[in-house]
């Protein structure tokens, strides 16, 4: 099984800040990596797939990068609506998810 590890587990930042969340895979997943945003009591929302392809309708302040075993989701200018938990998902070998990163707005 491929293990996905996200860091940090919790992140607190201010509106306008640039923030980054890291996802590491226990073995290479090439670029078969997706990112989701989830708000409390709601299902996730797809942000990025294939490591860096922005899903239609997702604001351009979200950016995904990386390949192999290390990936990053960057929010260039944090907005109040970005308060959520972010999850990575590899889909190179079956699929597995990271444990989530909770992003709080100060």
Partner 1 sequence: QVQLQESGPGLVKPSETLSLTCTVSGDSFTYYVWSWIRQSPGKGFEWIGYIASSGHTSYNPSLKSRVTISQDLSRKQLSLQVRSVTAADAAVYYCARTGFSGYYVVDHWGQGTLVAVTS
Count residues binding partner 1 (CB under 8 A): 21
CA distance 27 to 43: 28
Residue 18: CB atoms within 10 A of its CB come to 11
Residue 71 interacting with partner 1 (CB under 8 A): no
Binder to partner 1 among 31, 54, 91, 102 (CB under 8 A)? 91
Smallest gap from residue 75 Cβ to partner 1 (A)? 20
Which one of 10-18, 19-27, 47-55, 69-77 is the stretch in contact with partner 1 (CB under 8 A)?
47-55
Residue 62 interacting with partner 1 (CB under 8 A): no
């Amino acid at each position: 099984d491929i293990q996905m590890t996200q860091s940090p587990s919790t992140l607190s930042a201010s509106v306008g800040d640039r923030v980054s969340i890291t996802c590491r895979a226990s073995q290479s997943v090439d670029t078969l990596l997706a990112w989701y945003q989830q708000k409390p009591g709601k299902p996730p929302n797809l942000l990025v797939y294939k490591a860096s392809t922005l899903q239609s309708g997702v604001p351009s302040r979200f950016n995904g990068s990386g390949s192999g075993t290390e990936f990053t989701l960057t929010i260039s200018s944090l907005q109040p609506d970005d308060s959520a938990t972010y999850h990575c998902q590899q889909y190179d070998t079956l699929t597995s998810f990271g444990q989530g990163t909770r992003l709080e707005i100060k």
